[in-house]
Amino acid sequence: MYQCPHCGKPAITFLRKTFLGPGAPVPCRACEKTVKVSFLDWLKAALPGAIIMIAALFFDSGLAVYGLSLIGLALMIGLHVLRVPLVKE
């Protein structure tokens, strides 16, 4: 669970944060105030994975394309979950 920036109590689950974006605030489980992620932090977490996924398009091997795409996706999700903080709406 991730802490709410309003009340400091557990706000959302891992799975919920995985799909959380800057334009879709969600209510905290404890205080019901809305939390989200900032666009800049979200973008910083998404760019490295997106660059790897775009680079994968330049390979001829299907295995390389799928492999790099999965690595890019895992990097995007990992950075988002671990490095992007929740902020107040």
Instruction: Give 45-63 pLDDT, tens digit per residue.
Output: 999 999 999 999 999 999 9
What's residue 44's pLDDT? 97
What's residue 52's pLDDT? 97
What's residue 29's pLDDT? 95
Rounded average pLDDT per 10-residue block, the chain, 89 residues: 96 94 94 96 97 96 96 97 95
DSSP state of 28: -
Bridging pattern class, strands 26-27 and 2-3: unpaired
Burial 36-69 (b: 16+ CB within 10 A, else e): bbeeebbeebbeebeebbeebeeeeeeeebeebb
What's residue 89's pLDDT? 87
